[in-house]
Amino acid sequence: MRAPFRLLCLGAVLVGCSGITVVAPRPELRRVAPDDVPLPPFEPVAEGAESMNSEYCLESCTAEKARFAEFAKQIQELQKLQSGNRGQSVQRGFHGKAHGCLYGTVEPLPDRDPRSKFGVFAEGKGPYKAWIRFSNGVGWTQPDDELDARGMAVKLLGVDGARPLNDEMQTQDFLMTNSPTPVGRNAEEFMKFAFANERGRLSGYWFAATHIRTGAPALMRTDPIDSAANAQYWAGGAFHLGAHQAVKYTAKPCEGSVPRPKGPRTDPDYLRKDLNAAAKAGLCFTFYAQFQADPKTTPIEHASREWPEDVAPPVPIATIRMPAQDLADPARDAFCEKLSYSPWHGIYAHQPMGHINRARRYVYEASRQGRAGGFEPHGYEGFDAPPQTPTK
């Protein structure tokens, strides 16, 4: 059924593909069925050309892939530079310092929007066990009151389905930072910034000054935060939700969550201490999808163009629950360090989109190898003991 569906729809705009209304041929328009494997990105298209997902390569798909191979090498160079310049061990290329890893669940909402019911959010799917890692943005360890992005990475476990990578077979990762847009309209700019930032604060500022529209908005959001548990996080790039739709994700503390008290920022690890205190009571986030409205106001390839909420309102689709737990355990920290997150860990229904995301397929794996890390859990891995109650 799928091939005829595509053939029928490829050359024409059809209303609901019902065969009733046929208008002018539009060769750029590609429609896919929800359960298809997402189509690869286009070769570059004419400015203004529309498509169902508007995903097209930078320069050419061959040239782009060659650049990604270079980025993979550059990430490992960056890892060495970042550790060597500070006398620290080699860490993740970005998001080196963890505040903690929490176990929890991801539960699709019972009354979620029907448009969201694909992949891990399909009817009857979930709840899933999950591991959630909170982090700072740079690939070295620095005090938490420094300018930096903050990350929240969510790994769902026990996820079945065909997937583009085979380095893991049962997880679905969602990676977010506390800015709606990443630094850079594409991975070329992102990598340029990464090396500029490593050269020093002035060089980072120069990058922001020379990338006012594509770099500065995310860099303006790097002020220190009071608590990782209070923040809102965004996925930045776009993703399939089913092969036929593009979405961006965001997570916010659940309605009714008690905001963390504002504490002093004198302790270099105050975010870890705060997260540990918050974890003792448990944490809850609501996970939202913004559905692409059209290729112009909600573009795929220009990652630094924020999808406005008035045209793509965030729709709640799941709850991320982290029950009360104690993070102060060196074994948990060692486990947290080894975990390997990637937006490409997952099934086709959630395949990443856009240049910035396509590059991530290669650089996360390079970074994982560069730090000799990488571990895919199958459960709570022995950390699921009920909280200890003190004996009198």
- Nearer to ligand HEM among residue 347 and residue 359 (C-beta): 359
Residue 341 as a binder of ligand HEM (CB under 6 A): the answer is: yes
Stretch that binds ligand HEM, among 37-45, 252-260, 262-270, 362-370 (CB under 6 A): 362-370
Residues 6+ apart with CB under 8 A from 278: 227, 229, 260
Stretch that binds ligand HEM, among 238-246, 258-266, 312-320, 365-373 (CB under 6 A): 365-373
Q: Which two tokens stand for residue 217?
A: 């908005």
Minimum distance from CB of 248 to ligand HEM (Å)?
Answer: 10
In the list 100, 286, 368, 383, the residue contacting ligand HEM (rule: CB under 6 A) is: 368
Contact 14, 8 (CB under 8 A): yes
- Nearer to ligand HEM among residue 187 and residue 229 (C-beta): 187
Minimum distance from CB of 366 to ligand HEM (Å)?
Answer: 7
Distance between CA atoms of 130 and 377, rounded to whole angstroms? 9
R_g over Cα of the chain = 21
Beta carbons within 10 angstroms of residue 205's beta carbon: 14
Contact 260, 226 (CB under 8 A): yes
DSSP string, 133-200: EEEESBSS---TTSS--EEEEEEEES--S--S--S-SSEEEEEEESSSS-SSSSHHHHHHHHHHHHH-
Q: Which two tokens stand for residue 71?
A: 């980025």
Minimum distance from CB of 132 to ligand HEM (Å)?
Answer: 9
Residue 353 as a binder of ligand HEM (CB under 6 A): the answer is: no
Residue 207 as a binder of ligand HEM (CB under 6 A): the answer is: no
- Nearer to ligand HEM among residue 236 and residue 295 (C-beta): 236
Residue 356 as a binder of ligand HEM (CB under 6 A): the answer is: yes
Residue 350 as a binder of ligand HEM (CB under 6 A): the answer is: no
Distance of alpha carbon 362 from the chain centroid = 15
Distance between CA atoms of 108 and 378, rounded to whole angstroms? 20
Residue 236 as a binder of ligand HEM (CB under 6 A): the answer is: yes
DSSP string, 237-274: SEEESSTT-EEEEEEEEPTTPPPPPP----STTHHHHH
Residue 359 as a binder of ligand HEM (CB under 6 A): the answer is: yes
Round to the nearest angstrom and report the end-to-end CA distance of the chain.
67
Helix (H, G, I), strand (E, B) or coil at 387: coil
Residues 6+ apart with CB under 8 A from 192: 184, 207
Minimum distance from CB of 75 to ligand HEM (Å)?
Answer: 5
Residue 247 as a binder of ligand HEM (CB under 6 A): the answer is: no
Residue 131 as a binder of ligand HEM (CB under 6 A): the answer is: no
Residue 182 as a binder of ligand HEM (CB under 6 A): the answer is: yes
Give the footprint of ligand HEM on residues 158-177 (CB under 6 A): 175-177
Q: Which two tokens stand for residue 291?
A: 């559905």
Residue 246 as a binder of ligand HEM (CB under 6 A): the answer is: no
Minimum distance from CB of 364 to ligand HEM (Å)?
Answer: 5
Give the footprint of ligand HEM on residues 248-277 (CB under 6 A): none
Residue 190 as a binder of ligand HEM (CB under 6 A): the answer is: yes
- Nearer to ligand HEM among residue 53 and residue 340 (C-beta): 340
Beta carbons within 10 angstroms of residue 2's beta carbon: 12
In the list 31, 67, 94, 345, the residue contacting ligand HEM (rule: CB under 6 A) is: 94
Residue 135 as a binder of ligand HEM (CB under 6 A): the answer is: yes
What's the longest Cα–Cα distance across the chain? 80
Residue 237 as a binder of ligand HEM (CB under 6 A): the answer is: yes
Residue 298 as a binder of ligand HEM (CB under 6 A): the answer is: no
* Of 82, 80, 83, 79, nearest in space to 93 by CA: 79
Minimum distance from CB of 183 to ligand HEM (Å)?
Answer: 8
Distance between CA atoms of 153 and 135, rounded to whole angstroms? 8
Helix axes 61-84, 355-370, angle to 10 degrees: 40
Residue 75 as a binder of ligand HEM (CB under 6 A): the answer is: yes
Q: Which two tokens stand for residue 301?
A: 């390839």
Which residues are near ligand HEM by CB under 6 A?
71, 75, 92-95, 133, 135, 151, 153, 175-177, 182, 187, 190-191, 235-237, 303, 340-341, 356, 359-360, 363-364, 367-368, 371, 373
